[in-house]
Structure 1
Amino acid sequence: MSLDAWLGRAKPWIDLFMKQGAGWPIKTMGEHKFTFPGNWKIQLENTTDAYHFPIVHKSFLDSVDSETQNTFDFVEGNGYVEDLGHGHSVMVMIPDLVDLDENLEAPIPERFQELADELAKDYPDEQVRRIVRAVGGSGFNLNLFPNLACSMAFFRVLRPLAVMETEIRHVAIGMDGGPEPANEMRLRLHEHFQGPMGFGTPDDSEAWDRVQRGSLAGRDISILLNRGLGHEAQREDGNLFSDVSAETGMRAAYRQWLVDMTGKTVRAENGE
């Protein structure tokens, strides 16, 4: 199968993710690499799991202003998770930020106002709004099976080293040729959540470790991935989708994993 065919219905989401350049090409701005003592699929699940965010990342939410907290209160919002085929999936957390070229007339968030004022010295208002809107990243996480995740404002690469050891690369991205103040803010936002000193990665890593240890508790205990079953709907193109807290994306990945491991085609049906 060609790469084009493999990516399939995930391709439009890749294009949307790349709009973070705000008209400039995307560049990488550094990365950090770490390992965790667990199977790579545990980390794969994380990318489209909204259910954990307000619980596992409470320390992060406590560290930001109320406006940002409201932005990340997506569990009660209008987001969704969608199976894109071939194990790919997307979790839309902030629908208003899916297409970064739209809604440019929206008010500039208070946390970005100082940046907007600085950019206004060199750029027209519409371009300032486009840059500022792109700084915080897209409003979705995209899983590209088997091991690449485009997560809001960065991308992540998984590398299984062993059954119980996974290497993870977190790669920051920015605007190639774009204004340095905007790229600097992107890095500060990245550092706030990612990395050993961030408010997100340490909590995620601890959760992954506990999930791995818990999965070894007993072979007679089933591990359920049933959130949202019975509530999924189907789009015209055949994609299954459900509430943002559903495990639709995880089920998509495990169905493809089963196909890859056994050669057996697994049909995805609503509620099954």
Structure 2
Amino acid sequence: MTYSSDYLRSLVREDRVHRKMYVDPEIFELEKEKIFKKVWMYVGHESLVPDPGDYYCTTLVGQEVVLSRSPDGNINVIFNRCGHRGARVLNRKRGNAKVFTCMYHGWGFKPDGTLAGVPMKADFPGGVLEERASGMVALPRVKSYRGFVFASFNADVEPLEEYLGEARRGIDELTDRSPVGKIEFAFGCHRYHFDGNWKLQLENQADMYHPAACHASTVGPDGRQFQRRAGKEGGDAAFFTANGEAVVAQTGVRGFLKGHSSEASLFDKEQSGGVWDEYRAMMVDAYGEERTRDILKNRRHSMTLFPSVDILIAQTSVRVIRAVAVDRTEIEIWPVRLVGAPDVISTDLVKYVNITHSASSFIQSDDLEAFERCQEGLKTEGAEWFLVAKGLGDEVDEGKGVLFGPRSSEVGQRAQHVAWRDLMGA
């Protein structure tokens, strides 16, 4: 069966979406071509390849690619394939090499993918060994925003900053928390899979409705969750209000153009005490009191950049989403080091991420169970549509394409579905 563009558009309505979007393998294959290969996809952070010759291997849309740094400092994203007979060239996850050498016939490539050397080159006919075509081919578009590297299979993709739009503030807000405006992925990552569609994780990041039920086991007798951030004050969050309603249900969600979304902050106090005061003093020295107060405001819990990465500001970490199959998704959680901040700030962040977003954590494990139950439930016969109508009609237009949904509005999920509809129906 081949679905028409009109049919694909019809799967998204104003207040509900069709279950086929999550369970149909043919629709997933179309998503690869119409979404993942058309827009900007997050690849990795520049700090993964700090020195010339450094490389980091990953996948985009199931394609093996390499993030690398050239001797001139330029960042590259190239396909991990030899231009001769197609062998995978780099077999380790990370490393450093002046020349990337294929083990099959010894062809060598520079970090930007161009040919560096061919054994017995004279035996090839003249003109056959075109440097670019015979090399490790680069993706058509590569761009970095404040150290976050994105790439696109689409040579005609719009400029990255236009695609990110107002949602780029999530990257700014995370990076600005360093006294020198720089972050590093210095601690490795948690990497795991769940048996569910990639959109279930993406939607969950714009969902302030689920925590009261899904994460109820994480709430202490005092009505607060465990500590998530540094400092003696402001590192934990009240979970329920005096009337028994979950605090997260009252905070709000934002939907952005291009399918991006953000959740408002859960934290009700400014952080203070212990090493946090030392860190704050360093920020004031770097930025001044007014700017520091602005940077350290608890504006949002996270910023989700459609379709592949979530900036977890509350946990000072980054979540990467990779669609593997219609019912299989890979997740990576990268704790972030704030360069220039006291080391204990960053090492404590690793502990908090272990508590909240590792595969065996108190938070992410709840969500993964929910995702797998959703996937199994959506396979069953019954209602063909499910609702994303919470807060519909109550949105506030904040300008520049940003809609704020009070309380636990599903406006962020609706923004994601509109982007999905427009790309799939193009």
TM-score range, shorter chain: 0.7 to 0.9
Q: Distance in 2 between matches of 1:24 and 1:125?
A: 10
Residue of 175, 183, 189 corresponding to 1:26: 183
Deviations 1:202-251 (A, max 9, x none): 11110111111111222543211111112112123342221141110111
Shift of 1:176: 2.2
Q: Which residue of 1 aligns with 2:145?
A: none
2:412 pairs with 1:245: no
Aligned twin of 1:210? 373
Q: Which residue of 1 aligns with 2:247?
A: 74
Pair 1:95–1:239, CA change in 2 (3 A): farther
Q: 2:275 aligns with which of 93, 111, 115?
A: 115
Does 2:224 match 1:51?
A: no
- The TM-score with structure 1 as length reference comes to 0.78
Counting helix residues as a fraction of each chain, which structure ranks higher?
A: 1
2:327 to 158, 164, 167: 164
Equivalent residue letter for 2:303: L
Q: Distance in 2 between matches of 1:157 and 1:17?
A: 15
Structure 2 partner of 1:36? 194
Q: Tell me: CA distance 1:201–1:75, structure 2 relative to 1, closer, same or farther (3 Å).
A: closer
Once the 2 structures are TM-superposed, how far is the Cα of residue 144 of structure 1 from its aligned partner?
A: 0.5
**Secondary structure at 1:185 match in 2:** helix
Give the corresponding residue for 1:268.
Answer: none
Which moves more between the two structures, 18-27 or 164-173? 18-27
Equivalent residue number for residue 94 of structure 2: none
Change (3 A) 1:258 1:176: same
Q: CA deviation at 1:183?
A: 1.2
TM-score normalised by L of structure 2: 0.52
Are residues 185 and 231 of structure 1, via their aligned partners in 2, closer, same or farther at CA, if it must alter by over 3 Å? same
Counterpart selection for 1:86 from 258, 277, 289:
258
Local SS of the residue matching 1:223: strand
Number of the residue aligned with 1:229: 392
Deviations 1:38-82 (A, max 9, x none): 1100110011111112221222333627972417863254x3211
3-state SS of 1:7 partner: helix
1:147: which partner in 2?
308
Deviating more after overlay: 142-151 vs 169-178? 169-178
Check 1:248–1:125 CA distance in 2 against 1; reply closer, same or farther (3 A cut): closer
**2:322 touches 2:331 (CA, 8 Å); kept in 1?**
yes
Question: What is the letter of the counterpart of residue 20 of structure 1?
Answer: R
- Structure 1 residue 198: Cα displacement: 1.7
> 1:100: which partner in 2?
none
Q: RMSD over aligned Cα, in angstroms? A: 3.1
Aligned equivalents of 1:124 and 1:82: distance in 2? 31
CA distance in 2, matches of 1:195, 1:251: 28
Equivalent residues of 1:159, 1:166 under 8 A apart: yes
In 2, Cα distance between the equivalents of 1:239 and 1:224? 22
Pairwise CA distance, 1:107: 6.3
Tell whether the 8 Å contact from 1:92 to 1:244 is kept in structure 2 after alignment: no
Which of these two proteins has the greater Rg computed from alpha carbons? 2
- Kindly tell me: are residues 168 and 125 of structure 1, through their superposed partners in 2, closer, same or farther at Cα, counting changes over 3 Å? closer
Contiguous gaps of at least 5 residues in structure 2? 1-157, 228-232, 241-245
2:338 paired residue number: 175
Whether 1:64 aligns to 2:226 is yes
Distance 1:210 1:71, change over 3 A: closer
In structure 1, give the amino acid aligned to 2:173: L
Structure-2 change in CA distance of 1:187 and 1:137 (3 Å): farther
Report deviation, 1:178: 2.6
Q: Which runs of 5+ in 1 are unaligned?
A: 98-105, 264-272
Question: Per chain length, whose mean CA-contact separation is higher, i.e. which structure has more relative contact order (CA < 8 Å, sep 6+)?
Answer: 1
* Secondary structure of the structure 1 residue equivalent to 2:408: coil
Deviation of 1:148 after TM superposition, in Å, equals 0.9
In 2, distance between residues paired with 1:23 and 1:125?
9
Q: 1:4-40: per-residue Cα shift (whole Å, max 9, x none)?
A: 2111121233212222324451111220111100110
